[in-house]
Amino acid sequence: QADIDRLTKSLREKDLIVEQVERTNHDEGRITHELVSIGAQCKGERHEQTIGRQREALNELRARIKSLEQLRPVNPSYEKVLQQVVLLKRELAELRARQALPNDLPDLRTTPAPNSAHQQSQRQSTTTATTMRQSPSTTIHSDSINEAQKVVEERAAHAETMNSLQSCDELHNAFTRKLMNLLDIDDDSLANVTPLATLPATDRYVALQQRQRTNEILMQKVEMIRERLTRKEELLRDYEKDLGKLRQAEILLREKDILLQDLETDKRTKDDEALYLRNTLKETQDSLNQEKRVNSSVKLGR
């Protein structure tokens, strides 16, 4: 019985709320006048600046929404889901507005204001009232656009990440094939590497391990070639040292050859002089012997 009474009471309260909402819809002119009065009280410079900033933010948001709608590709299923979300949020906001409106209505009091203030703030208050009446739908639209923008940004970030990953895969594969060609490695298992962009998250670890093994094999080959090159450079330095010594020996040999040629020239000159002296000595001895014979014959003739 207590539950029935409680439910009956809550039902009556809801009926009263519905009646008050309907009465409020019929009394829109009175509410507008009260909002005009409230707007006349809030006509300070700070309030105008706040309204201006809100208008600028709203215009900027609308411009961003238009740009996103132009850039975003058409996706019927996504549009349907988004419309359902917007409708649900709109209904939720309307229910909250209906629940909050009867509590706000008793606080509205009609305050006397001069005719000049009424004329100055009538347009601004009308805009404020329209904004207040449209605030639930605007909020819902803003929330839906924010969610749509987040989804678009996430998709764009995901697409950019996948493109970057694909570019890295292509660069890695090209570098690996080029390095294998330079190192004369014929192994198709090292060259045929599955791109990470096409693999699920569970298989990427295996692909990374395969790439790690490929890199280790290539590094071992490069290290081996580097050691060979180091040894060849050491041998080349030794050869250069020996070649330097050989060049010095050749220079010394040329000098010795020149000296030998000079000595041979001197020897030939001295040999010629000795031969000339021998011939001269022989001729002198012959003439001396002849004179001796002549002298001997002269002595015998006497």
Can you tell me the distance from the alpha carbon of 187 to that of 220, in angstroms, rounded to the nearest whole number?
Answer: 15
Instruction: Tell me if residue 6 falls in helix, strand or coil.
Output: helix
**Over 50: is that where the pLDDT of 108 sits?**
no
What pLDDT sits at residue 210?
80
| Contact by Cβ (8 Å): 20, 102 | yes
Alpha helices in the chain (DSSP H): 2-26, 28-41, 45-71, 76-104, 115-183, 188-191, 201-301
Average pLDDT over residues 198-212: 77
Residue predicted with more confidence, 73 or 258:
258
Return d(Cα 55, Cα 58) in angstroms, integer: 5
Q: What's residue 169's pLDDT?
A: 76
Spatial CA neighbour of 55 closest among 118, 126, 127? 127
The C-alpha atoms of residue 270 and residue 9 are separated, in whole angstroms, by: 155
Please tell me the distance from the alpha carbon of residue 293 to that of residue 7, in angstroms, as a whole number: 187
> What is the tens place of the pLDDT at every residue in 73-98?
444 455 565 666 667 666 666 665 55
Span 35-62, average pLDDT? 64
pLDDT in tens, 277-293: 999 999 999 999 898 88
Per-range mean pLDDT, top range of 60-74, 128-142, 220-234: 220-234
Residue 75 confidence (pLDDT): 46
pTM: 0.36
109-164, pLDDT tens digit by residue?
333 434 444 444 444 444 444 444 444 445 555 566 666 667 667 777 777 777 77
In this structure, which amino acid lies at residue 74? V
Whether the pLDDT of residue 207 is over 70: the answer is yes
- In the predicted model, what is the mean pLDDT of residues 181-194? 71
CA distances from 258 to 246, 248, 263, 267, 298 (A): 18, 16, 9, 14, 60
Average pLDDT in the chain: 70
DSSP calls for 249-266? HHHHHHHHHHHHHHHHHH
Count Cβ neighbours within 10 Å for each residue of 83-122 and write b for 16 or more, e otherwise. Answer: eeebeebbeebeeeeeeeebeeeeeeeeeeeeeeebeebe
Q: pLDDT-based confidence at 273, cuts 50/70/90?
A: very high
pLDDT at 40 over 70: no
- Does pLDDT of 274 surpass 60? yes
Contact 86, 141 (CB under 8 A): yes
Euclidean distance between CA atoms 88 and 84, whole angstroms: 6
Inter-CA distances, 172 with 127, 167, 193, 194, 196, Å: 61, 9, 9, 11, 11
